[in-house]
Chain A
Amino acid sequence: MAADAPHPAFEGYATETVPQASVGAPGKDGRLELTFAADEAGRTQLVRDFAQAPFHVGRALDHDLHPDVATVYIQSSTGGVAQGDRHSVEISASEGAIAHVSTASRTRVLSMEHNYAAASVSLDIDRGSYLEYLPEPTVFNTDARYHQDVTLRVAPGSCAVFGDVVVPGRLACDEHFEFERYVSQLRVQDGAGLLFADTTDLHPAQDDPTAPGVLDEFAVYGSLYVVVPAASSSDESSVTDERPKPASLSDALHKRVADCEARAGATALPNDAGVLVRALGHSADSVTDALDNAWNRARTDLLGVSAPDPRKY
């Protein structure tokens, strides 16, 4: 495999040089590192942030309905993800932190003629911590090639909510599935190993994404993963896991999405890891509405407060 190809499908692209700023040049290797921790009063603080262009973060916001939550919106100084970009996002929540992270606007993956773009996301959620990572949808322009690698490491009794929405083109311009390749590999692990994995592999020119059972007549595809690994049995006996069990949480989330405009449903994830909500729709808004409904319900069950109005605009 070529040195930095993240997937066999990207080996050919990796050999192509980029005519403008090359792979690894300033502005191409975006890095973002955020660490949240609870202070003595139990309020979550952004205790460390490092952002290398095109990433930018302001201060943590505290508009959440839950008094201890810290909110960070990731901003970008560029118009989109270009060929040769390699982005890395590392977020950790420790010592009982409760944090919400999102992006300020949609991520646009621009058209490409050479090489590819890739993003690696790593979330570490410590025992007793709660992290939401719900970026705005990713939009794919014509001929885009994009690889996304997402790893969640969850400790027993922690909670992670991760959302991902794929918009396969500028739908208003009647552009559907004209990108070249999109591979997204999600792995969720606890200390003992893999809890579940989910791979999206779209190669529209070769495999028809509108095949029955795949996306069919729908264009936009979104997933919400509510990961609630059980508190381990080796915990102190006084600690009981009072959070809803995955099967009942799955029923509750399903109820919230069943009548949405998008076609959506919830199911319990493997290894009692939590709940998956899938949503398929004709527009990005219909899919995000369904996933937001599920997120709102999950938050009410797990944190005791509903989702706040975003402060992005």
Chain B
Amino acid sequence: MSDAAALAELRLADSFLPIGTDSLSYGVEQFLATDRVTDADDLRALLESYLRNQFGPGDLVALRAAHARASENNLVAVMETDYRLAAVTLTAEFRESSTLAGERLLALQSDLRGDGLVEEYAELVDIGDAPGNHAVILGIVTEHEGISARDACLLACHGFVTGLLGAAQRLLRLGHTDVQRVLDDLHPAMIVAVEDSADRAPEEMTPFAPLVETLSSEHERADRRLFRS
């Protein structure tokens, strides 16, 4: 990997990246609010399940497809991936969160170096012709920055997990060392999720986490909440 690509990878993986992921919990807030998660162990088990059943078979498959199709400069195929991911993301808050982060990443990247596919896709999302899901935008952006598909998937897992850990830390009594331990413990699950996603065709996006979906639909109507999802 070139130095430029390595630095781009660090920049995109940093929680410093201003794409609004610090306002998203993807249902984790509801797991805490209903006392289903009360400590670091519960949190680790839940996030492992997210990676294995929700993020891996859904977002990572879309990311890989978008990355591959962006490298072929095939805008239409990238759009198809984007629509497919939207069609299998069944809860309203998950779709809103995904497109919010996606649009912000696209806007940021267009400001930094708006050229080629990034710029063209930004226009499509802007006029409402493409949903702009985060995993798909990340696929386009990482491909543009010279980051490999596998590294992009690992980056996505790291970003997703640190985002949810950040959310949990604001809601739960959880020390910085505990958070780092959970993150470190989740590395094998991230690698498994990335490897499992490699064997799947874009049509095989099959997230399956019914309780996450049910709690997300409760979160939509929660009286008190800190996060948008």
Query: Of A198, A267, A270, which is within 8 A of B86 by CB?
Result: A270
Residues on A with C-beta less than 8 A from B36 are 212, 216
Q: Is the CB of B91 within 8 A of A267?
A: yes
Contacting B90 at CB < 8 Å: which of A196, A216, A218?
A196
A residues bordering B, Cβ < 8 Å? 193-201, 207, 211-216, 218, 221, 247, 250-251, 254, 258, 263-271, 276, 278-280
Q: Who on chain A is nearest to B86 by CB?
A: A270
Q: Is A213 in contact with B211, judged by CB distance below 8 angstroms? A: yes
From B63-71, B104-112, B171-179, B202-210, give the one contacting chain A: B202-210
Would you call B208 and A199 a contact (CB within 8 A)? yes
Q: How far is the CA of A198 from the CA of B205 in the complex (A)?
A: 9
Given contacts A201-B208, A266-B217, A270-B95, contact A213 B88 (CB under 8 A): no
Does A278 contact B92, Cβ atoms closer than 8 Å?
Answer: no
Closest Cβ of chain A to B113, distance in Å, is 31
Given contacts A199-B208, A200-B208, A267-B213, contact A213 B86 (CB under 8 A): no
Q: Are B92 and A215 in contact (CB under 8 A)?
A: no
B4 contacts which chain A residues (CB < 8 A)?
A: none
Residues of B within 8 Å of A269, CB to CB, are 90
The residues of B that contact A267 with a CB separation of less than 8 Å are 90-93, 213, 216-217, 220
Main secondary structure of the interface of A (DSSP, over half): strand
- B211 near A263 with CB under 8 A, answer yes
- In the bound complex, do residue A278 and residue B214 qualify as a contact, i.e. CB atoms below 8 Å apart? yes
Residue numbers of B with Cβ under 8 A of A are: 31, 36, 42, 45-46, 48-50, 52-54, 83-84, 86-93, 95, 206, 208-218, 220-221
For A254, the chain B residues whose CB sits under 8 A away are 217, 220-221
Q: Using Cβ atoms and an 8 Å threshold, which residues of chain B touch A270?
A: 86-90, 95
With a cutoff of 8 Å between Cβ atoms, the chain A residues found around residue B91 in the complex are 267, 276
Query: Which of B53, B91, B93, B217 has the most chain A CB atoms inside 10 A of its CB?
Result: B217
Residue among A200, A216, A264, A271 facing the most chain B CB atoms (10 A cut-off): A216
Docked-complex contact B217 and A216, CB < 8 angstroms:
no
Tell me whether A278 and B84 are in contact in the complex, defined as CB-CB below 8 angstroms, given that A213-B49, A254-B221 are known contacts.
no
**Which of A196, A207, A265 has a CB less than 8 Å from the CB of B87?**
A196
Closest partner residue, chain B, to A211 (CB atom): B49
A99 and B146 alpha carbons, distance in the complex (Å): 55
B48 surroundings in chain A (CB, below 8 A):
211
Determine whether the beta carbon of B217 is less than 8 Å from that of A198. no
Give bound CA distance, A199 to B200, whole Å.
14
Complex alpha-carbon distance, A264 and B216, angstroms:
11
Question: Is A213 within 8 A of B206, CB to CB?
Answer: no
* Cross-chain contact B221 with A251 (CB below 8 angstroms): yes
CA distance A267 to B217 in the complex (A): 6
**21 A-B contacts, Cβ less than 8 Å apart?**
A194-B83, A196-B88, A199-B206, A211-B53, A212-B36, A212-B49, A213-B50, A213-B54, A214-B211, A215-B211, A216-B211, A250-B92, A250-B217, A263-B211, A263-B214, A264-B214, A265-B214, A267-B220, A270-B95, A276-B90, A278-B217
Q: Which residue of A lies closest to B216 (CB)?
A: A267
